[in-house]
């Protein structure tokens, strides 16, 4: 059984994000990268399947810059068998990333029985890649999955919907599963695991190698900027009963003309 | 000269810090309050390879260097100095075996620690002998095909849960250092009586007890080195373990620094965050300086161990400086937190209580200065 797990490297949640000079992306030079937390659930689910089926092979795939390969190394230290890195900029759009992931999976020569991904990346929060990838692979997909059972070639996946209700899907493998928090408890990479990960095969491709070009870009980012700083609040003194009428009129006026919320 | 840790050490450090943040910090205060032994956390740390880092590869260990060991211990102490004392006590007890054991003894005593979760205790201090460890009174008598052990040990970390003791005892008190032996003892042997768990100021989750030996039979083959070699094994152990204990002070100080920085940026007085007040800035600058200086000394002392250079003097610099700095830094952290710092609802008072012990155990700050003076005035 071949299991692919798509992982993304995102800025550590404690990072103070600043836009880069031309506003095309965030400044990445001093960022500490981590594996996208939702992808950890995806890796863990693949490893749980591997535990139950020792013959299963878990491959982690990542599209992104080569500066740091934290996410792939972590996944392999957790227990994934091998990794594929498609070298690319960190600000690709969802379509290009999905196409690159598909290209990398095709290029591996292994036919995917299961593809896992996090339901979204915590940096751009697009929630698109798993679904686009499934479409490109022509596979069924279930997203925001919090329960997963594999029996033979049937997957029973539970997904969360509004109001805390669960939808239960039965899907035949191969399929794409986008994982949510609550699906499992991701394991730590153990120290022996970290040591072993260094010897695990890591294939490296360019975007061209996996058939992706600039023409595939559907979204171009421009004008990254920080949200405007919150202006200081205004205080109105209405302790004097005689002035209350005027104060209320003033507040309502400002809410209408300045804050424009009524 | 390279001051950077390797990418591999960085990964090890990140794992240990992640473990400290996720597993230790959330429960540290409660375990401190109730004096709960961190059994599950200890076991989990062992499963991840964060414990017993001194066991060589040949005996199933991870084969980490001393520097790797202090990087791990620093990060775990960042989580909780008290729990880290329990974890470290394993290394402290296993080191004499690594240093003075024969191949057969290492296989017999070290390998089980790599195969299943086990706990060990280092038994040197006695009710009447702390700093003057060489004046110990616990005796070993030749019983023919075994040794007979009598005496009492004090402040023994992990004693209530240990699967193995390394005990220091003398064949003749009059021989002083020359009569001291190091011997491996099975805690289940008849004649061993454990005292009650000590109710301590800090490190409350670590288990500390007295251990009494009443005519305890110990197999002859359990002695590490020969008769009279125990003192030299103990001293070599300390050269390895002092950087380790110093790293615990470093980790605690680092945590106090981080907490102080965060709090100073949040707490507003006189209309600005207290981080804008120079009085607080100076305290934080002092903390940051001392954490960095401690780290350099601790890493150097461990690195010297790995280079097989005699590190007695630098290990004492590291132990005394890191412990004294940790005391100062955690005290200032309470000061920065003000009234809140004195309350058990906030994390810094525990750090201050925990810091105190590191100035005392594994050679007091004063003993470290004696060692340093002896070395530099040679």
| Chain A CA closest to residue B49 | A191
Same-domain pairing of B353 and B244:
yes
Average of per-residue pLDDT across B361-368: 95
Q: Which residues contact B71 (CB under 8 A, 6 or more apart)?
A: B5, B9, B12, B13, B16, B247, B299
What does the alpha-carbon distance between residue A4 and residue A80 come to, in Å, rounded to a whole number?
A: 9
Same-domain pairing of B106 and B63:
yes
Give yes or no for A236 touching B (CB within 8 A): no
Same-domain pairing of B253 and B242:
yes
| Least confident interval from A247-251, B191-195, B338-342 | A247-251
Is B52 domain-assigned? yes
Judge contact between A224 and A26, C-beta under 8 A. Answer: yes
Same-domain pairing of B371 and B244:
yes
Is B1 domain-assigned? no
Average pLDDT, whole number, for chain A? 92
Q: What is the CATH number of the domain that holds B318?
A: 1.20.140.10
**What are the extents of the domains in chain A?**
2-216, 230-262
Domain boundary among B228, B249, B282: B228
B245-258: per-residue pLDDT in tens?
A: 999 999 999 999 99
Is B368 domain-assigned? yes
Give yes or no for B368 touching A (CB within 8 A): no
Give yes or no for B62 touching A (CB within 8 A): yes
Which of chain A's residues have a Cβ under 8 Å away from the Cβ of B12? 191, 194
Is B2 domain-assigned? no
Contact B12 A191 (CB under 8 A): yes
Same-domain pairing of B235 and B348:
yes
Judge contact between B297 and B317, C-beta under 8 A. Answer: yes
Question: By residue range, what is the domain housing residue B337?
Answer: 231-376
Same-domain pairing of B300 and B222:
no
| Least confident interval from A32-36, B304-308, B349-353 | A32-36
Same-domain pairing of B133 and B215:
yes
Average of per-residue pLDDT across B115-136: 93
Domain boundary among B178, B211, B228: B228
Same-domain pairing of B370 and B265:
yes
What share of chain A has pLDDT > 90, as a percent?
Answer: 70
Q: What is the CATH number of the domain that holds B63?
A: 1.10.540.10
Contact B49 A192 (CB under 8 A): yes
- State the smallest CA–CA distance between residue A89 and chain B in angstroms: 23
Is B298 domain-assigned? yes
A90-113: per-residue pLDDT in tens?
A: 789 999 999 999 999 999 999 999
Contact A194 B62 (CB under 8 A): no
Is B186 domain-assigned? yes
Same-domain pairing of B240 and B370:
yes
Other Cβ atoms closer than 10 A to A179 = 30
Amino acid A15: pLDDT: 85
Same-domain pairing of B148 and B72:
no
Q: Dig out the tokens for B106 from the structure.
A: 């290492």
Confidence of residue A149 (pLDDT cuts 50, 70, 90): very high
Superfamily of structural domain A2-216 = HUPs (3.40.50.620)
Same-domain pairing of B49 and B142:
no
- State the smallest CA–CA distance between residue B215 and chain A in angstroms: 42
Same-domain pairing of B49 and B66:
yes
Is B268 domain-assigned? yes
Other Cβ atoms closer than 10 A to B123 = 29
Helices and strands in chain A: count of H runs, count of E runs: 6, 11
B11 vs B369 pLDDT, higher one? B369
Q: Which of B14, B221, B362, B375 is catalytic?
A: B362
Nearest to A194 among B11, B19, B47 (CB): B11
Confidence of residue A22 (pLDDT cuts 50, 70, 90): confident
What does the alpha-carbon distance between residue A46 and residue A180 come to, in Å, rounded to a whole number?
A: 14
Beta strands in A65-133 (DSSP E): 82-87, 114-118
Total count of domains within chain B: 3
Reduced 3-state DSSP string for chain B: CCCCCCHHHHHHHHHHHHHHHHHHHHHHHHHHHHCCCCHHHHHHHHHCCCCCCCCCHHHCCCCCCHHHHHHHHHHHHHHCHHHHHHHHHHHHHHHHHHHHCCHHHHHHHCHHHHHCCCCEEEECCECCECCCHHHCCCEEEECCCEEEEEEEEEEEECHHHCCEEEEEEECCHHHHHHHEEEEEECCCCCCEEECCCCCCCCCCCCCEEEEEEEEEEEEHHHEECCCCCHHHHHHHHHHHHHHHHHHHHHHHHHHHHHHHHHHHHHCEECCEEHHHCHHHHHHHHHHHHHHHHHHHHHHHHHHHHHCCCCCHHHHHHHHHHHHHHHHHHHHHHHHHHHHHHHCCCCCHHHHHHHHHHHCCCCCCHHHHHHHHHHHHCC
Say yes or no to pLDDT of B287 above 80: yes
- pTM for the complete prediction? 0.87
For an interface test with A, the pick among B48, B64, B72 (most A C-beta atoms closer than 10 Å) comes out as B48
Q: Is B229 a catalytic residue?
A: no
Domain boundary among B228, B251, B273: B228
Is B315 domain-assigned? yes
Give yes or no for A35 touching B (CB within 8 A): no
Amino acid B33: pLDDT: 96
């Amino acid at each position: 059984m071949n299991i692919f797990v798509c992982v993304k490297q995102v800025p550590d949640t404690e990072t103070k994000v600043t836009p880069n000079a031309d506003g095309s992306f965030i400044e990445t030079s001093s960022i500490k990268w981590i594996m996208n937390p939702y992808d950890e659930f995806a890796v863990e689910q693949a490893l749980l399947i591997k535990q139950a089926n020792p013959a299963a092979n878990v491959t982690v795939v990542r599209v992104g810059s080569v500066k740091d390969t934290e996410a792939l190394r972590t996944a392999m230290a957790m227990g994934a068998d091998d990794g594929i890195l498609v070298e690319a900029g960190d600000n690709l759009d969802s379509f290009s990333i999905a196409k690159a992931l598909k290209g990398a999976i095709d290029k591996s020569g292994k036919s995917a029985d299961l593809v896992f991904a996090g339901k979204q990346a915590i940096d751009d929060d697009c929630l698109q890649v798993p679904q686009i990838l499934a479409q490109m692979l022509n596979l069924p997909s279930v997203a925001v999955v919090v329960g997963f059972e594999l029996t033979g070639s049937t997957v029973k996946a539970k997904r969360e919907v509004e109001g805390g209700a669960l939808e239960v899907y039965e899907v035949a493998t191969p399929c794409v599963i986008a994982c949510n928090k609550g699906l499992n408890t991701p394991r730590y990479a153990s120290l022996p695991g970290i040591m072993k990960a260094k010897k695990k095969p890591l294939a490296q491709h360019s975007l061209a190698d996996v058939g992706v070009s600039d023409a595939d870009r559907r979204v171009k980012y421009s004008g990254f900027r920080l949200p405007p700083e919150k202006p200081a609040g205004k205080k109105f003194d209405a302790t004097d009963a005689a002035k209350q009428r005027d104060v209320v009129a003033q507040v309502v006026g400002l809410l209408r003309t300045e804050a424009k919320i009524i | 000269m390279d001051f950077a840790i390797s990418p591999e050490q960085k990964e090890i450090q990140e794992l240990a810090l992640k473990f400290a943040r996720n597993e230790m910090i959330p429960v540290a205060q409660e375990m401190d309050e109730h004096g709960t032994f961190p059994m599950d956390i200890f076991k989990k740390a062992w499963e991840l390879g964060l414990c017993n880092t001194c066991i060589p590869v040949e005996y199933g260990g991870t084969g980490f260097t001393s520097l790797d060991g202090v990087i791990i211990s620093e990060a775990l102490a960042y989580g909780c100095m008290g729990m880290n004392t329990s974890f470290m006590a394993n290394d402290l007890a296993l080191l004499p075996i690594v240093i003075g054991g024969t191949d057969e003894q290492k296989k017999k005593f070290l390998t089980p620690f790599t195969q299943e979760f086990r706990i060990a205790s280092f038994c040197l201090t006695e009710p009447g002998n702390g700093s003057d460890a060489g004046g110990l009174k616990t005796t070993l008598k030749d019983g023919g095909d075994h040794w007979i052990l009598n005496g009492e040990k004090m402040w023994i970390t992990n004693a209530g849960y240990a699967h193995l003791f390394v005990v220091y005892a003398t064949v003749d008190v009059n021989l002083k250092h020359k009569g001291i032996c190091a011997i491996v003892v099975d805690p289940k042997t008849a004649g061993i009586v454990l005292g009650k768990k000590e109710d301590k100021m800090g490190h409350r989750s670590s288990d500390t007890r007295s251990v009494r030996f009443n005519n305890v039979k110990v197999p002859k083959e359990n002695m590490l080195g020969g008769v009279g070699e125990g003192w030299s094994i103990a001293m070599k152990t300390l050269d390895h373990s002092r950087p380790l204990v110093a790293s615990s002070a470093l980790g605690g100080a680092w945590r106090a620094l981080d907490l102080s920085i965060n709090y100073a940026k949040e707490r507003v007085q006189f209309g600005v965050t207290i981080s804008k007040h120079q009085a607080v800035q100076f305290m934080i600058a002092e903390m940051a300086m001392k954490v960095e200086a401690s780290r350099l000394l601790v890493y150097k002392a461990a690195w010297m161990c790995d280079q097989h250079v005699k590190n007695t003097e630098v290990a004492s610099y590291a132990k005394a400086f890191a412990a004294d700095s940790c005391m100062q830094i955690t005290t200032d952290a309470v000061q920065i937190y003000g009234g809140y710092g004195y309350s058990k609802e906030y994390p810094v008072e525990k750090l201050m209580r925990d810091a105190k012990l590191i100035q005392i155990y594994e050679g007091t700050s004063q003993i470290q200065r004696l060692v340093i003076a002896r070395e530099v005035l040679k």
